[in-house]
Amino acid sequence: MQQLAETTMAGQDTLLDIQNLTLSLRDQSGWVEVLNNVSLSVKPKEILGVVGESGCGKSMTALSILRLLPPRDSRLGGKILFGGQNLASCSESQMNRIRGRHISMIFQEPMSALDPVFTVGYQIEETLKRHFRLSRREASERAIAALNSVGIASPRHVATLYPMNLSGGMRQRVMIAMALVCEPRLLIADEPTTALDVTIQAQIMDLLLGLADRTGTAIMFITHNLGLVAQSCHRMVTMYAGQVVEGGPVRDVIAGPRHPYTAGLLHSIPDSNRARGTLPSIAGRVPSLRHMPKGCRFGPRCSYSMQPCELPQSIENEGIEDIDRREVRCNRWQELVLRGVGA
């Protein structure tokens, strides 16, 4: 797979700046908090990895950015600044001008994200016509060019097919073409390779990174695969139980994690050099949204948990410049020595 080129993000303006984002959702039992004071940022042309187990809030953060949650059953707090504009307070008409044009998203399941009753070419054309004044012929030619750009053979023929006629890998290529056809400034990729086999995963990641590099699109890459993050991203944040618990440059975090949860995720990665035996895993489960632990939310699963962990945990910063800044939500981080990968 294509390795990430050495790139510095220092001195660049922030493209996306999420500040103390909170999200509550309503179900039959009432309101429940899903995100708690989430703060993260993405710079132009940067690739940010967002990692964590299922249920940690990664996808909910993405849906909040694009305001895709039902308004009556969701409450947003904090700020979602994109190019200086607060998306959290935008009207639906304003968001419609932003979605697809300036911020695009690749969803986990391409089969459910694509409309089964329309051809893939028509769906890409509609994305273009929503944001640009194009004739049907112009939109069709640009849709075919987009399919060609993602390595689809016979793009003119594929444009006439329906999603059910395509393999999983082909559908994901179509989703990438649709997401990038308007050349957005930010692409949110939510587990874009989860349902694919390893060979197709590598092809899709190479394609995604290559296109982003050529177009200058920044990527917020949501995944549970830390191996892909290590190969593909500039910076990463770890989420747990609706909170950001660690963040920093990818190489620094992987070599020397500051939070026990990040360390646990790293050592759960299969390693061909490790002696045969049981693969290490993190004991327990992500807590229920309605029954969050007091103090550190990871405390009940943490082998380093002590009395300080029963107190509220806040994010602490280390480092002066954005390029080397580390963040950690752990009251004991300064006294813990956690082993990273390769350490």
DSSP letters spanning 120-148 = HHHHHHHHHHHHS---HHHHHHHHHHHHH
149 contact partners, CB below 8 Å, separation of at least 6: 177, 180, 211
Give the pLDDT of residue 214: 86
In 46-190, which ranges are continuous DSSP H helix? 58-65, 92-98, 110-113, 120-131, 136-149, 155-158, 168-180
Do 39 and 20 touch, CB atoms closer than 8 A?
Answer: yes
Whose CA is closest to 247, among 333, 340, 329?
Answer: 329
Strands 326-328 and 316-318: antiparallel
Q: In what helix (H) or strand (E) does residue 205 lie, and over which residues does it extend?
A: helix 198-215
Tell me the C-alpha distance between 202 and 196, whole Å: 9
Torsion of CA 248, 252, 256, 259, to 10 degrees: 10
Angle between helices 198-215 and 168-180 (to 10 degrees): 10
Tell me the C-alpha distance between 152 and 155, whole Å: 6
Q: Left (φ > 0), alpha (ψ -120 to 50) or beta: where does 154 sit?
A: left
Helix and strand element counts for the chain (H, E): 11, 12
Give the pLDDT of residue 305: 93
Tell me the C-alpha distance between 291 and 310, whole Å: 15
Whose CA is closest to 26, among 289, 244, 297, 291?
Answer: 289
Tell me the C-alpha distance between 192 and 202, whole Å: 11
Structure tokens at 74: 């969701």
Number of residues that this document lists for the chain: 343
Q: How far apart are the first and last CA of the chain?
A: 23
The pTM for the full model equals: 0.91
Whose CA is closest to 253, among 116, 160, 244?
Answer: 244
**What string of pLDDT tens digits covers the 343 residues of the chain?**
544 444 444 446 899 999 999 999 999 999 999 999 999 999 999 999 999 999 999 999 999 999 999 999 999 999 999 998 999 999 999 999 999 999 999 988 777 889 999 999 999 999 999 999 999 999 999 999 999 999 899 999 999 999 999 998 899 899 999 999 999 999 999 988 876 778 878 888 888 888 888 888 999 999 988 988 999 999 999 999 999 999 999 999 999 999 999 999 998 887 766 666 677 889 899 999 999 998 999 999 999 999 889 998 888 887 655 557 899 999 999 999 898 886 4
The conformation of residue 182, written as its DSSP 8-state character, comes to T
Whose CA is closest to 184, among 237, 131, 110?
Answer: 131
Do 186 and 42 touch, CB atoms closer than 8 A?
Answer: yes
Tell me the C-alpha distance between 180 and 173, whole Å: 11
